[in-house]
Amino acid sequence: MTEIKKFTRWHLQDEDLTGLNPVKARDLIVKCFFEAQKETFARIKQDMGGSTSDKDLMNNVLASIKMVFREVGSDFESPTKEGIMKAVETLAKKAGSWGTPPDIIEFHKGQIMKVLGYLR
């Protein structure tokens, strides 16, 4: 019997909100989306008996996020709150189409909405 690895979800911490600006919010989205997709990918890979490195997964996640920022007409390098909000909505939809379970999407989207609630 294969041991199933337990993954923890990314939780927003008070210190994450210190000095919050659009660039830091964008970086938190990258971190959050990485954790969400890492969990999704791990669930699939565990079923298949395979594995992948965090570095490779992060590269894929970052490329996907940059692509979504372009799709919604936002600048990844100089993000705005409005652009980040559009990107988060699109990322949630795409994650669903990739097979990410709804509970993972909603949890992580909720964490990012907290960030956006603090962003001015």
At residue 41, the pLDDT reads 65
In a domain, 12, yes or no: no
In a domain, 13, yes or no: no
At residue 49, the pLDDT reads 60
The predicted model scores a pTM of 0.80
In the block, residue with structure tokens 């041991």: 3
In a domain, 4, yes or no: no
* Structural domain harbouring 87: 21-118
- Could you list the mean pLDDT of each consecutive 10-residue stretch along the chain, which spans 120 residues? 61 91 95 82 63 73 93 96 94 88 89 90
Total domains in the chain come to 1
